[in-house]
Structures are given as C-alpha cells and as structure tokens.
C-alpha cells in the first residue's frame, strides 16, 4: 500500500477531504459490500462514500470497524434521501445513518437530490453541523441556480456538490461556477457506468497505452488533475487496487486536451431539471 502521494482537497471550512475515494452505489449484497470496503481501506483509500438510499450503510460500518483503522483517519460521506428531506425529519435520518455506520459523527453529509423540502432539511443539517455531528455539509445533483439559491438564503454554504461527471459529460461551466464560489466538485459515474463503450474508446485507449495504464486509470487521473474528487466503485479486488494506483503518472496538456474533445455536454443518465425526473425521484423508495 502506497499513500505517500494520496491527495487531499481543503473544503471551504478548512476540513481536509481525500480527493480519491471509494463509492458503494449499487453494491446491494451486504457481505459483498463489506468485503469491498474492507479491500478498499486495505488498498489505501481513506474516503468512503455511501448513502441512505443505497441501503448498505451497515455493511460499510462493519467494514470500517473490521479494518482497525482509527476513525479519524477515515472520511465518511453519506446522503439524505428525499423522503426525509424536511425539517425535523432530516435530523432523525442523520441519527439513523450514524447508528448504522457505527460512528459518532459523519465527515460529509449531503442532500442527495434537489427535490423536496431542501431548505427545511438544510436547517436540520446546519444544526448537526453546529453540534459537531457533521464536519462538513454538501449537496448532490444541484444545478448552479439551485446552489446559488441555497447559498443566498442559508447560513452555512455547501462545501461539496457531487454531480455526474465523466469524459462524455465534463460539466466545465458548472465546475467553474462551483470553484468561483469555493465549492468542491465531486464526480459520480466517473466511468459513465461503462456507457458509450467508454473502456474501448480509441482516444482513451491510446492515452492509456502511452502510460502503460488502463482506461479507468486514465479517467481517474484526468479528473484528479482537474481538481475533482472521485469515488470509483468496484467489487473486484484487483480493480479496487488498480483504481488506487493513479499517483505515479500524469497526463500531458495535449492528452488533457484530447479528452476534452470527447465532451458531448449531455447527460448519459437523466436531467434533474425535468418534471418527469423530479416526479420519479420523489416517488423512489
């Protein structure tokens, strides 16, 4: 395990967050999730990203306990789902997530979707933050206008916005807006969940070959060099390790420019601003 070059970003409240983490979205089998998180921690990852809606917080908690790594060395992110995104209820949802994770505090707590009583929920999150139960507050899937609205009418500014970001949807304008407002950009679906034949893309394959790396490693390196926090997921030990081994090479300016040309400026999943998607998310359990 080599963590000498393990990068951190400093959030707008001074908290240090690992820039490379491990995500557990869609790892629904408890034993598989626990083992994958344990493998990740043993490989050197120190950021674990889960959510209330992933239904695997307990498995993540067990892995953290089994790892033997001191709690303060592990940065834990979890997220509040829409069904509990309301004043009073968000506080209780946090308490339940912390119980499942087996921890006294959570490093980063996100509102998972820009749907529901976001302002009411944020007031609960501000209480948790003031009480020291959460070290930093953030959001996920918020568009710039929604971020600005939240900032203008609340006390605590979000520290992170976790959004879809990959070579086919690079979100440069959104990233620039977040940087201008001292909010860290975090990528979900960094590998586009394999869509658009991303792992056999000729441009990415050529760059990977030049560095004797995999396409996945090139994508992670590209995001890291853009200052983005990344949370790749895998349940395969060799790939968990491979995704961590991205600190011994750098992409050239020319290679970064080549990847920039892959941008289609279109989501490969769904547009959070459409009524149909808002209704779907609101009804999701």
Task: Provide, rounded to the nearest whole percent, the portion of the chain with pLDDT above 70.
Answer: 99
54 is catalytic: yes
pLDDT digits 0-9 by tens, 122-157: 999 999 999 999 999 999 999 999 999 999 999 999
Residue 30 covered by a domain: yes
Burial 182-204 (b: 16+ CB within 10 A, else e): ebbbbbbbbbbeeebebeebeeb
Is residue 112 annotated as involved in ligand binding?
Answer: yes
Half-sphere CA count of 231, side-chain side, radius 13 A = 25
Q: Identify whether the C-beta of residue 71 lies closer than 8 Å to the C-beta of residue 98.
A: no
Residue 94 covered by a domain: yes
pLDDT averaged over the chain? Answer: 96
Q: Identify whether the C-beta of residue 84 lies closer than 8 Å to the C-beta of residue 97.
A: no
- Whether 164 has a pLDDT exceeding 90, the answer reads yes
Residue 4 covered by a domain: no
> Residues in the chain, how many?
285
In DSSP terms, 110 is beta-bridged to 79, 138
Where in the sequence is the domain holding 263, given as residue range(s)?
A: 9-283
CATH number at residue 123: 3.20.20.100
Distance (Å, rounded) from C-alpha 13 to C-alpha 247?
26
Residue 72 covered by a domain: yes
pLDDT digits 0-9 by tens, 44-102: 999 999 999 999 999 999 999 999 999 999 999 999 999 999 999 999 999 999 999 99
The count of structural domains within the chain is 1
- Whether 159 has a pLDDT exceeding 80, the answer reads yes
Residue 240 covered by a domain: yes
Residue 1 covered by a domain: no
Report H helices in the chain. Answer: 30-43, 57-67, 89-101, 118-130, 144-152, 172-180, 202-211, 215-225, 237-244, 253-260, 275-283
- Whether 3 has a pLDDT exceeding 50, the answer reads no
pTM given for the model = 0.96
Residue 62 covered by a domain: yes
Q: Which two tokens stand for residue 60?
A: 């993540």
Residue 49 covered by a domain: yes
Q: Which of 6, 45, 54, 55 is catalytic?
A: 54
């Amino acid at each position: 395990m080599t963590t000498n070059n393990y990068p951190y970003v400093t959030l707008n409240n001074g908290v240090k967050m690992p820039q490379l983490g491990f995500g557990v979205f869609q790892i629904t089998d408890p034993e598989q999730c626990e083992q994958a998180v344990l493998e990740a921690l043993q490989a050197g990852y120190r950021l674990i990203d889960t959510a209330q809606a992933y239904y695997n917080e307990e498995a993540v908690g067990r892995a953290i306990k089994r790892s033997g790594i001191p709690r303060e060395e592990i940065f834990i992110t979890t997220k509040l789902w829409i069904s509990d995104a309301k004043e009073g209820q968000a506080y209780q949802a946090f308490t339940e997530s912390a119980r499942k994770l087996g921890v006294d505090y959570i490093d980063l707590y996100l509102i998972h979707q820009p749907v529901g009583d976001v302002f009411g929920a944020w007031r609960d999150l501000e209480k948790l933050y003031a009480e020291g139960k959460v070290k930093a507050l953030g959001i996920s899937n918020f568009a710039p206008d929604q971020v600005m609205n939240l900032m203008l009418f609340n006390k605590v500014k979000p520290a992170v916005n976790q959004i879809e970001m990959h070579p086919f949807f690079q979100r440069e304008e959104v990233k620039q807006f977040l940087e201008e407002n001292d909010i860290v950009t975090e990528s979900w679906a960094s590998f586009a969940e394999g869509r658009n034949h991303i792992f056999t893309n000729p441009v990415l394959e050529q760059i990977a070959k030049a560095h004797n790396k995999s396409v996945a490693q090139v994508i992670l390196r590209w995001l890291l060099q853009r200052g983005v926090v990344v949370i790749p997921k895998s349940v395969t030990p060799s790939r968990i390790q491979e995704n961590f081994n991205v600190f011994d090479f750098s992409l050239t300016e020319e290679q970064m420019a080549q990847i920039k040309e892959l941008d289609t400026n279109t989501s490969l999943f769904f547009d959070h601003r459409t009524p149909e998607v808002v209704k779907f998310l609101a009804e999701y359990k």
